[in-house]
Structure 1
Amino acid sequence: MDADGAILFDAEASPQVDDDWFAPDYWRERGALRSQPGGRGGVQLIATPVGECVLRHYRRGGLVAKLMGDRYLWRGADASRCVAEFRLLAEIARLGLPGPAPVAARYRRHGLFYRADLVTRRIADAQTLAECLAAGRLDAELAREVGALVARFHRAGIWHADLNAHNVLVTGTGLYLIDFDRGRLRAPAEGWRLANLRRLHRSLVKLSRPGHDIGVFEHDVWQPLLYGYERTFSA
């Protein structure tokens, strides 16, 4: 990796990846791009030679975004957001866990700062858990499956930095966790596992329908979710 920028890619997914892969205009000119809601500024769906993928440009959130925009402080290639997430996703795939398959990552350094992008394979025919909740589809059975999903990642020592209802995908064939920006491998410990679960709980409560009885939610959704989690984590 040189000082100005580099591309990291899975040679088994594609034998060649260049800067065009990270340029929305390149895909737009070929009729191979469409935007998708979600994330900071949204993501792009791109029809690549290896199938439909998701192109994400890393952007900051909160007040710091007004100052830094999409720039991050350079601390070395291995510490860059895109390289770290690419490698974590590769480890998730190696472990056989359901996450986005990494295709390519790129950083471009400019002095003390850098910008970054990531390409992953699209998980087809999926709804977020937030969408399922809004549609009234988050029942006890699905909640148990969500708990089991989170437990599988925790057993492997994988910490999700932003575990919320938007980052759980539900498909006809199973569930997935997505968006592992700032995630990392950690020694399994009760403290961070419970903090992760509390974050998911806050997200679900916040997204619940106005006037929804919190006691009903705890009984019908959260307790089954915890049951699925504990049963899987302890297996």
Structure 2
Amino acid sequence: MQEQLREEADGTILFDAEVSPQVDADWFDPDYWRGRDALHVQQGGRGGVALIRTPAGECVLRHYRRGGLVARLLGDRYRWGGANRTRPFAEFRLLAAIVARGLPGPLPVAARFCRRGGFYTADLITRRIDAARTLAEYQGEGRLDAALAESVGVLVARFHREGIWHADLNAHNVLVTPAGLYLIDFDRGRLRPLASRWRLANLRRLRRSLLKVAGPGHELAVFERDVWQPLLNAYQRTFAV
């Protein structure tokens, strides 16, 4: 990766010059891509996901948005604490570390913050992962079997062995593709010293998510036997290697 900074009138951009040296403020403007018939918006999440066709290939443009009650007060603004502590720069660099370790995560292309006094707004561009569906979709369709559950366990263990903590490990942030599985959305994630406490908390979060997607009509005993135990066994085997 060739990390570079670009100062613009309305913000500061961090980008990988090896992926594309052309990144500027227009890349973060959906209307710019819409005017070139290069924008597709997918619903879901907070405000949907913008898919953009760029000179660096098809990418995902994500505007950082708050959730919960605080969103009513601050909207899409975050408190300023320095450039390196902004959420897009932190996620960009964590993704770069993930790629450098050979782990299956999104390739970071560019990040930007726009500071306004004591607050900032933020955006991130990553390369799109082709032919991907979420683990939640597989679970909702009844297609999450023991083999796929084992693959998820291996995936999570690989990240945990490198000390990579995912702040929101859930079934929507695991992507299933013909080429393999990926983890996405590392906002607020970070590298941590290896410890069982945060690893187990991550796994519990994933378990809650899978049960929520399965719905109240799903038998817990069947879930434990066919999904969770195979996942956990594969996780333990992989982490121990």
Residue 68 of structure 2 is matched in structure 1 by: 62
Q: How much has 1:4 moved relative to structure 2?
A: 6.5
Q: What TM-score results when the alignment is normalised by the length of structure 1?
A: 0.98
- Is residue 112 from structure 1 mapped to residue 118 from structure 2 by the alignment? yes
Residue identity matched to 1:54: V
Residue 168 of structure 1 aligns with which residue? 174
**2:190 corresponds to 1:184:** yes
- Give the number of aligned pairs: 235
Shift of 1:208: 0.3
- Identify if the C-alpha distance between structure 1 residues 22 and 4 changes in structure 2 by more than 3 Å, giving closer, same or farther: closer
Between the aligned partners of 2:43 and 2:219, the Cα distance in structure 1 is 29
Amino acid at match of 1:126: A
1:5-58: CA deviation from partner (whole Å, max 9, x where unpaired): 310000010012100000000000000001112321111000001110000000
User: Which residue identity lines up with residue 96 of structure 2 in the other structure?
Assistant: A
How far apart, CA to CA, are the structure 1 residues paired with 2:156 and 2:224? 18
Moved more, 51-60 or 30-39: 30-39
Where does the alignment leave 5 or more consecutive residues of structure 2 unmatched?
none
Taking the aligned partners of 1:39 and 1:181, their CA distance within structure 2 comes to 13
Alpha carbons 1:4, 1:110 under 8 Å: kept: no
Residue 202 of structure 2 aligns with an amino acid whose one-letter code is N
SS in 1 for 2:50: strand
For the residues of structure 2 that align with 1:84 and 1:39, how far apart are their CA atoms?
21
The CA RMSD over aligned residues, in Å, is 1.1
Aligned to 1:28: 34
**Normalization by structure 2: what TM-score?**
0.95
Q: Give the counterpart letter for 1:104 in structure 2.
A: A
Equivalences for residues 1-235 of structure 1 within 5 A: 5-235=11-241
Q: Spell out structure 1 runs of 4+ moving beyond 2 A.
A: 1-5
Question: Contact between 1:138 and 1:221, CA under 8 Å: does it hold in 2?
Answer: yes
Distance (Å, rounded) in 2 between the aligned partners of 1:102 and 1:226: 30
